[in-house]
Amino acid sequence: MELGTSPKQFIWASGIENTFVPQSRPGYRPLEEYELMGHYEHWREDLALARDLGVRGLRWGIPWYRVEPQQGVFDWSWTDQVIPYLVRDLGITPIIDLMHYGCPLWLQREFVNRDYPRAVAAYAAAFAERYSTLIKLYTPLNEPLVNSLMCGKRGVWPPYLRGDAGYIRMMLQLVRGIIETVEAIKSVDPASVMVHVEATGLTRAVRDDLHALAMEDQHRGYLYYDLITGRVDRNHPLFPWLIRNGASPDDLAAIAARKIPIDMLGLNFYPQWSTQQLYLDPRGRLAYRATEQDGSGFAVLIEDFHRRYQAPIIVTETSAFGSDELRAAWLDASLGAVRGLRGRGVPVVGYTWFPLFTMIDWRYRFGRGPVDQYRLELGLFRLKDTMEGDRDGRWSGTPLVEHFCRYVNNPEMAVGPFVPAETPADETSASEQSTNANG
C-alpha cells in the first residue's frame, strides 16, 4: 500500500477487535475476541467484509499465546492461511497488531516478568522473518495506556497489579518491550513502518482551580509517546509522580537513551468515552464524567498530537455507540474534522472505523451470562441472530455500510487535499489551551 498525503493515497481502513486475555482466575473468564466471535472458524467470511467495503487497510491481530504455545516453539498453521488470503486474494494491507493486551500462558507474571521485553521481541522477530514479504505495517503494542490501566492500576487483567505504582511498573515494562520489538522488526525489515497506536482523550476542568489537575491528566495521556521518544527526564512534568511511585531515574534515563522515532501516530478516539470532565462531587472529592459526547474535541486532540510529535497520523479507531442515525452523524462529523485538519496542514493520512463488526464487551470477562448478552454493536456489520439462519452468511450490513462506502469511493470529497502548513506549528498544545473549557 502506497503511503502518502494525496486523497488517492488516503488509507481507508477497518479492523477486527482482537483482545486476547486467555488467562482465567476465580471470577474472571478468558476474554478472547476471536474465539468468542467465531473468527477462527469463519475468518474467510469475516475478512471478505473488508473487501466488500473497498478499504485499503485492516487492523488485524496475532494471538501470541496461540502462535507460540511453548517458548520458542511456533505454530504458524493458522496465520499461514489467513495472511496470504488477506494480502494476495483480497488485496488488503494488514496493519498487524502484534500485541493486543494478552501474553502467552507460559510467561509467568506476564508483562512484569523480567524476561518479557526479550520474549516479546523474539516473537516479533520470528513473525517478521516469516511474513516480511507480505507485511509492512505493524503496531508493536495496542494502547499502552489502557494496557497499563487494566493490568497495572485496576488489576482486572494479569498480572493484576493495582494503584499508581502498578500502573507505572506496567507502563515501563511495555515501553521496554515496544522498543525491543521495534528494533527486532527493523533488523529484519528496515522498510517496515511502525504504527504506534494509543488510546487518546481530553480532560476538561469544570473549575479554574482544577485546571492544574486536568493538565496533569493530559500529560499522562502523552506518557507512552514521551517515553519512547526520550522526552521523559528530570524536567518532564510527570517526573516527580513517576519517581514517587517506583520509577528509578536510572531506568528512565536508560529508556530515554534507547529512544526510537515515531513512523506514524495511531490515535484512537470514541466520542462517548474519550473526553472526560474533572469536577468535585457533592462530598468534595475529585470525580470524572463523560462530556462532549458529540466528539467536539476530536480535531483539537489530533492537532495537539501533531504539534507535539510532528509525525503523520492515522485515526486507528473510531466509531460511536447508539442508533444508526447517531453513528452516521459521527461518521460525517469525524470525517469533516479530518478534512479540515488536512486543509490546515495536519497530515492525517488514514481513517479507521473500528471495529468492522460486532465485538464482545470486555465486561464479559467478569460477567456470568452467556456470550450473546455481551454483544457490543459499534461496527459496520452486525452478527445475525441464530434464528435468522446462516444461508446468506452470518453478517447483516447496517445502513452505515453504504454511507461509509460513499466516502471511500470519493476520497477527494471525503478528506480533501492536504495543504502543507506555511509556518512551523506552534509548540503550545491545543489541548493545553483548552483543558479549562467547561464541557
Q: What is the DSSP string of 364-404?
A: GGG--S-GGGGEE--SSEEEPPGGG-STT-SEEE-THHHHH
Q: How far is CA 290 from CA 242, 271, 375, 419, in A?
A: 26, 9, 22, 33
pLDDT tens-place string over residues 328-360: 999 999 999 999 999 999 999 999 999 999 999
Enter the pTM of the model: 0.93
> Per CATH, is 7-434 categorized as 3.90.1310.10?
no
Residue 437 has pLDDT above 60, yes or no: no
Residue 79 has pLDDT above 70, yes or no: yes
Q: What is the pLDDT of residue 389?
A: 52
Mean pLDDT (whole number) for 402-424: 91
Mean pLDDT (whole number) for 59-82: 98
Parallel, antiparallel, or unpaired for β 381-383 and 57-61? unpaired
Q: What is the pLDDT of residue 107?
A: 98
Residue 367 has pLDDT above 60, yes or no: yes
The Cα 150–Cα 238 span in angstroms is 20
The CA angle 219-225-226, to the nearest 5 degrees, is 60
The Cα 117–Cα 346 span in angstroms is 34
Cross-strand bridge partners of residue 278: 205, 288
Nearest to 431 by CA among 319, 311, 301, 341: 301
pLDDT bracket for residue 436 (50, 70, 90): very low
The Cα 145–Cα 136 span in angstroms is 25
DSSP H helical ranges for 140-230: 144-148, 163-188, 211-221, 223-228
Q: How far is CA 159 from CA 21, 101, 281, in A?
A: 11, 11, 32
Q: What is the pLDDT of residue 399?
A: 97
Cross-strand bridge partners of residue 137: 95, 193
What is the rounded (10 degree) CA torsion for 232, 233, 239, 242? 70
Residue 10 has pLDDT above 80, yes or no: yes
Residue 86 has pLDDT above 70, yes or no: yes
**Grid coordinates of 174:** 511495555
269 neighbors 293 (Cβ within 8 angstroms): no
Q: Which helix (H) or strand (E) holds 338?
A: helix 324-343
pLDDT bracket for residue 432 (50, 70, 90): low
Average pLDDT over the chain reads: 93
Residue given cell 522498510 in the structure block? 191
pLDDT tens-place string over residues 154-172: 999 999 999 999 999 999 9
Residue 264 has pLDDT above 70, yes or no: yes
**What distance separates the 2 farthest-apart alpha carbons in the chain?**
63
Residue 426 has pLDDT above 60, yes or no: no
Q: Which helix (H) or strand (E) holds 286?
A: strand 286-290
Q: How far is CA 32 from CA 17, 39, 73, 371, in A?
A: 10, 10, 21, 11
Is residue 243 classed as helix, strand or coil in its secondary structure?
helix
The Cα 6–Cα 4 span in angstroms is 6
144 neighbors 196 (Cβ within 8 angstroms): no
* Per-domain boundaries in the chain: 7-434
Q: What is the pLDDT of residue 439?
A: 36
pLDDT bracket for residue 386 (50, 70, 90): low
pLDDT bracket for residue 429 (50, 70, 90): low
